[in-house]
């Protein structure tokens, strides 16, 4: 049973679409990821044109992150104030990101630049998280109690414009979250992802936010970033496929809810270790694509009229 | 299927009214509709070798069917190794390349014959289907003929792997010695627009008669509505896409609230 996708201009099996949406949605709910960094490569692998894959997964991430946010919000795990400050930075970052994206398209190097960016970011983040979380797990197994400081002071405390984030039990400058949000905005617009896999470690390690609040808060801000990216793609590249998005959304929303339930049954360190392994897996795949001689060294792209 | 009966009658009538001319064509479709269930289509092309039914086809007469799809502009990029990384380097822009090309014959037709008769988009090199001289090509800084050919080959190879370029023979059924019939597979990735069908009757290596007609591939129904909304009112389309995402995302969370005890 297949369905014709009007913007991608090809037909695809519905069961396959629903499975992909479901699995990516599950991971997104479990880890608080947008899932774009998995969804986009899978769609491209299935033969969906790159621009359609990027734009449509942004649209899909809006739905799964709304669904996920509501789940965490009910458990009181969303810091709306922190989300708002991040978003302020993201708004400007997205605009810069779209500008960079269009420059790279003109140069014909968008795919390569994105691959290298993905690889560098995923590898470093994956390794950091894996080392950190395995240390915590190892200490726990040895029945060592690690004293946790409620407040630890780093450079984020020395900057001006300090704000109180009651939910996260933080009193830090607004500048670091705005900068983080700005970087996420650039990455969202250029890489077509939510950016949670960068946002989460940044919030934990740079801002010192409690892990429990980080996932819900990042999902909350991802809603708005991906919504903006969706609108930008719909109006500039015309690449949002509503039919493709519809099936992915249905499946991913169900998957995301199951993922949130599964996350409650796991400890923070295990979730982080698992996320680190997935991140490293994707990084390895990207590295192989860059390093192994491809079977077909030529690739074709159809130029679509952009009004 | 009334159309088929009509065309068959048309064919019979043509047999009798035009006794002299050869090659009579019937066709299945004037239009191929792409709707939500579209997963490709077999296009039927049929007709007769000779208008006089008593004149049976002999081994020296062949039918050649050519289908040319609407043109599109493409860019071919070549990956090269830079310090171990395979990166896009050189690129060539091919303008007005057919989005679909199909060539079928009863028996194998030589490239020389196609060259001589300047049929369709053929040639330059034996394996290639496109008449490069008709294309507007942006070579960038590539000057080497051999390198240019590698880009030609890559275009054909890529299109063939997508099943939109095909060259076959022996896929035309011949019935009662005079009628022919062929199903042409139109894959689900074909571009929309006007397609041209060219038929040639070849007797003793000479084109004795030819016939052309067009058909359209168009989107209909919800597919057309979505496509035209996305092109004509992109902001509204984007907002609707967002609204759908918001509604499904939200209602998903509401539905699952019942199952969760938090």
Q: Which pLDDT score, from 0 to 100, does residue B119 have?
A: 74
Tokens at B74, concatenated: 């493409």
Task: Identify the CA nearest to A77 among candidates A261, A283, A256, A216.
Answer: A216
CA-based nearest distance B120→chain A, Å: 22
Q: Which pLDDT score, from 0 to 100, does residue A283 have?
A: 83
Q: Which pLDDT score, from 0 to 100, does residue A174 have?
A: 82
Q: What is the DSSP string of B159-212?
A: HHHTTSEEEEES-SEEETTTEEEEEEEE-TTPPSEEEEEEEEEEETTEEEEEEE
Greatest Cα pair distance in chain B: 86
Strands B31-34 and B22-27: unpaired
Q: Residue A290 pLDDT > 90, yes or no?
A: no
Chain A residue with the nearest C-alpha to that of B225? A6
Mean pLDDT of A111-115: 74
Chain B residue with the nearest C-alpha to that of A25? B249
Question: Is the pLDDT higher at A30 or at B55?
Answer: A30
For B17-67, the pLDDT digits (tens) are 444 456 777 766 678 888 877 888 888 888 887 766 666 666 677 888 889
Give Cα separations from A88 to A73, A83, A239, B100, B218 (angstroms): 20, 9, 26, 48, 44
Asked if B76's CB is within 8 angstroms of A11's CB, the reply is: no
CA-based nearest distance A194→chain B, Å: 15
Chain B residue with the nearest C-alpha to that of A1? B37
Who among B88, B230, B260 is closest to A240 (CB)? B230
Q: Which pLDDT score, from 0 to 100, does residue B95 have?
A: 80
Who among A2, A234, A298 is closest to B241 (CB)? A234
Greatest Cα pair distance in chain A: 64
Picking from A300, A301, A305 by the largest number of B CB atoms within 10 A of its own CB, the best residue to mutate is A300
Mean pLDDT of A153-175: 74
Q: Residue B6 pLDDT > 60, yes or no?
A: no
Q: Taking CB atoms and an 8 Å cutoff, what residues of chain A touch B249? A: 62-67, 70, 249, 253
Q: Residue A60 pLDDT > 60, yes or no?
A: yes
Give the residues across from B136 on adjacent strands: B95
Q: Which pLDDT score, from 0 to 100, does residue A18 have?
A: 94
Strands B31-34 and B206-219: parallel
Q: What percent of chain B has pLDDT over 70?
A: 78
Asked if A303's CB is within 8 angstroms of B72's CB, the reply is: yes
pTM, two decimals, is: 0.73
For B114-158, the pLDDT digits (tens) are 777 777 554 444 444 455 555 667 777 777 777 777 888 888 888
Rg (CA), chain A: 19
Complete edge-to-edge strand list for the sheet that includes strand B22-27: B22-27, B41-50, B179-186, B173-175
Asked if B91's CB is within 8 angstroms of A240's CB, the reply is: no
Phi, psi of B17 (to 5 degrees): -80, -30
Judge whether B180 and B64 are in contact, CB under 8 Å: no
Asked if B245's CB is within 8 angstroms of A63's CB, the reply is: yes
Chain B residue with the nearest C-alpha to that of A248? B245
Who among A63, A234, A245 is closest to B234 (CB)? A234
Judge whether A290 and A115 are in contact, CB under 8 Å: yes
Asked if A249's CB is within 8 angstroms of B73's CB, the reply is: no
Q: Residue B240 pLDDT > 90, yes or no?
A: yes
Asked if A59's CB is within 8 angstroms of B241's CB, the reply is: yes
Instruction: Report helix, strand or coil for B21.
Output: coil
Task: Identify the CA nearest to A108 among candidates A304, A301, A274, A307.
Answer: A301
Who among B38, B91, B230 is closest to A4 (CB)? B38
User: Which residue's structure tokens are 């069917």?
Assistant: B65
Q: Which pLDDT score, from 0 to 100, does residue B161 have?
A: 86
Q: How far apart are CA B90 and CA A176, in angstroms?
A: 41
CA-based nearest distance B190→chain A, Å: 8
ipTM: 0.80
Q: Residue A53 pLDDT > 90, yes or no?
A: no
Q: Which pLDDT score, from 0 to 100, does residue B8 have?
A: 62
Who among A111, A238, A257 is closest to B231 (CB)? A238
Q: Which pLDDT score, from 0 to 100, does residue A305 have?
A: 47
pLDDT tier for residue A88 given thresholds of 50, 70 and 90: very high
Q: Which pLDDT score, from 0 to 100, does residue A246 have?
A: 94
Strand (E) or helix (H) holding B257: helix B234-257
Highest mean pLDDT among A59-68, A111-120, A161-170, B126-135: A59-68
**Residue A207 CB contacts under 8 Å (≥ 6 apart), including other chains:** A82, A156, A168, A170, A172, A176, A177, A180
Secondary structure letter of residue A209 according to DSSP: -
Tokens at A184, concatenated: 């996420």
Asked if B151's CB is within 8 angstroms of A298's CB, the reply is: yes
Q: What percent of chain A has pLDDT over 90?
A: 11
Counting Cβ atoms within 10 Å, is residue A89 exposed (0-12), middle (13-18) or buried (19+)?
buried
Q: Which pLDDT score, from 0 to 100, does residue B53 have?
A: 63
Q: Which pLDDT score, from 0 to 100, does residue B22 have?
A: 64
**What is the average pLDDT score of chain B?**
78
Strand (E) or helix (H) holding B26: strand B22-27
Asked if A4's CB is within 8 angstroms of B37's CB, the reply is: yes
User: Which residue's structure tokens are 């670091």?
Assistant: A176
Mean pLDDT of A14-28: 88
Asked if B191's CB is within 8 angstroms of A235's CB, the reply is: no
Q: Taking CB atoms and an 8 Å cutoff, what residues of chain B touch A114? A: none
Q: How far apart are CA B164 and CA B185, in angstroms?
A: 9
**Residue B260 CB contacts under 8 Å (≥ 6 apart), including other chains:** A71, A261
Least confident piece of the model among A161-170, A208-217, A278-287, B247-256: A161-170
List, in order of start, the domains of chain B with CATH numbers.
Answer: 2-219 (2.60.40.1930), 224-257 (no CATH)
Asked if A299's CB is within 8 angstroms of B256's CB, the reply is: no
Who among A2, A67, A296 is closest to B252 (CB)? A67
**Residue B104 CB contacts under 8 Å (≥ 6 apart), including other chains:** B64, B65, B66, B167, B168, B169, B171, B172, B182, B184
Q: Taking CB atoms and an 8 Å cutoff, what residues of chain A touch B235? A: 231, 234-235
Chain A residue with the nearest C-alpha to that of B158? A300
Question: Is the pLDDT higher at B176 or at A267?
Answer: B176
Phi, psi of B30 (to 5 degrees): -95, -20
Judge whether B70 and B148 are in contact, CB under 8 Å: no
User: Which residue's structure tokens are 């597979």?
Assistant: B185
Q: Residue A72 pLDDT > 70, yes or no?
A: yes
């Amino acid at each position: 049973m297949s369905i014709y996708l009007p913007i991608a201009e090809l037909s695809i099996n519905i069961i396959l679409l629903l499975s992909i949406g479901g699995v990516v949605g599950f991971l997104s709910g479990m880890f608080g990821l947008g899932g774009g960094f998995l969804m986009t490569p899978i769609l491209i692998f299935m033969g969906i044109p790159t621009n359609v894959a990027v734009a449509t997964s942004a649209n899909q991430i809006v739905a799964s992150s709304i669904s996920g946010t509501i789940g965490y919000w009910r458990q009181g795990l969303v810091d709306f104030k922190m989300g708002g400050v991040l978003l302020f930075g993201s708004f400007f970052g997205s605009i810069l990101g779209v500008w960079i994206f269009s420059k790279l398209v003109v140069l014909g190097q968008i795919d390569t630049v994105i691959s290298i960016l993905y690889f560098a970011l995923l590898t470093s983040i994956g390794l950091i998280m894996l080392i950190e979380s395995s240390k915590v797990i190892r200490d726990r197994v040895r029945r060592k109690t690690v004293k946790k400081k409620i407040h630890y002071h780093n450079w984020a405390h020395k900057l001006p414009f300090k704000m109180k984030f009651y939910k996260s039990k933080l009193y830090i400058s607004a500048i670091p979250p705005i900068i983080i949000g700005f970087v996420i905005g650039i990455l969202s617009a250029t890489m077509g992802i939510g950016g949670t896999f960068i946002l989460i470690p940044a919030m934990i390690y740079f801002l010192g936010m409690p892990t429990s609040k980080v996932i819900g808060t990042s999902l909350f801000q991802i809603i708005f970033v991906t919504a903006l990216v969706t609108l930008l793609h719909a109006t500039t590249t015309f690449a949002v496929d509503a039919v493709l998005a519809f099936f992915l959304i249905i499946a991913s929303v169900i998957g995301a809810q199951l993922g949130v339930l599964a996350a409650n049954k796991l400890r923070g360190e295990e979730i982080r270790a698992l996320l680190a392994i997935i991140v490293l897996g994707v990084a390895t795949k990207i590295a192989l694509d860059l390093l192994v001689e491809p079977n077909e060294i030529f690739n074709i792209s159809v130029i679509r009229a952009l009004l | 299927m009334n159309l088929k009966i009509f065309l068959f009658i048309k064919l019979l009538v043509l047999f009798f009214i035009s006794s002299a001319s050869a090659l009579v064509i019937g066709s299945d479709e004037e239009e191929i509709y792409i709707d939500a269930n579209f997963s490709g289509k077999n296009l039927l092309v049929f007709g007769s070798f000779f208008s006089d039914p008593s004149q049976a086809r002999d081994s020296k007469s062949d039918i050649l069917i050519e289908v040319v799809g609407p043109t599109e502009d493409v860019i071919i990029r070549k990956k090269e190794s830079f310090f171990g990384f395979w990166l896009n380097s050189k690129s060539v822009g091919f303008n007005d390349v057919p989005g679909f090309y199909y060539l079928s014959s009863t028996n194998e037709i030589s490239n020389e014959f196609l060259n001589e008769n300047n049929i369709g988009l053929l040639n330059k090199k034996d394996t290639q289907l496109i008449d490069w001289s008709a294309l507007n090509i942006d070579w960038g800084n590539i000057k080497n003929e051999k390198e240019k050919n590698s880009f030609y080959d890559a275009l054909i190879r890529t299109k063939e792997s997508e099943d939109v370029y095909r060259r076959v023979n022996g896929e035309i059924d011949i019935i009662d010695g005079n009628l022919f019939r062929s199903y042409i597979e139109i894959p689900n990735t074909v571009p929309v627009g006007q397609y041209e069908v060219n038929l040639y009757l070849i007797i003793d290596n000479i084109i004795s008669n030819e016939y052309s007609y067009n058909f359209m591939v168009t989107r209909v129904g919800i597919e057309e509505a979505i496509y035209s909304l996305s092109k004509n009112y992109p902001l509204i389309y984007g907002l609707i896409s967002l609204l759908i995402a918001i509604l499904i995302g939200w209602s998903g969370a509401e539905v699952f609230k019942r199952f969760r005890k938090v």
